[in-house]
Amino acid sequence: LAVLVMEIFAIYNVYKRARLSLPSKVKKRLEFFIAISVSTGTLLSLVYFLYVVVRISPWFDPRYVIPLAGMIIGNSMTGVSLGVKTLSESITIQKDIVEAALMLGARPKDAVRMFSDRAFDSAILPTLNSMIGMGIVFLPGMMTGQILSGASPITAIKYQIAIMLGILGGVTISVSVFLYLGYKAFFNREDQLIV
């Protein structure tokens, strides 16, 4: 129930942050794709992390599930928000490029590929930056908490690396699913741009 509430709150926050000024049909389809991408990416990453990495018993132990879900869902929410914003702004501002590509025979996916790549880069960058600086520029909360509670620094570092990889996996899957589906919201059945 707690994870479900977190998911709903994250999806709602992405809707709010996006502040899309698009036609209602495009907006509704984007909201649907946002919900699918956030829930798919975060749940796949969380399930993998709980079953393969941590291997807790029972699997639903709230002491592990809630903090891990919070970290994965929170970072995925930020990544998808950035992906939505970048993709929608790129397509609406530079729609002449998309339309020119379509007129020359490109499929919608190919016409927006440059914008999808840019959106992926901007969405994944905050997570990569935090991974690069981890342990050198700043000490993350989970690692610091374990060290202060008396755990070995090596063990704390291993757990922090594992959770950062889980977060990166959740963000990558969520953003990839959104970008795979999201561009379709901007086109009608005849492959015409509708923004």
Q: Is residue 191 part of a domain?
A: no
Per-residue pLDDT tens over the stretch 55-111: 777 777 788 788 889 989 999 999 999 999 999 999 989 989 999 999 998 899 999
Q: Are 154 and 91 in contact (CB under 8 A)?
A: no
pLDDT at position 189:
87
Q: Report the domain count for the chain.
A: 1
Angle between helices 153-182 and 113-133 (to 10 degrees): 170
Domain that holds residue 145: 1-185
Q: What is the CB neighbour count within 10 angstroms for residue 60?
A: 10
Q: Are 125 and 88 in contact (CB under 8 A)?
A: no
Residue-level length of the chain: 195
Q: Is residue 194 part of a domain?
A: no
Residue with tokens 């036609």: 23
Distance of alpha carbon 18 from alpha carbon 86, whole angstroms = 10
Q: Is residue 22 part of a domain?
A: yes
Q: Is residue 195 part of a domain?
A: no
Higher per-residue confidence, 161 vs 60: 161
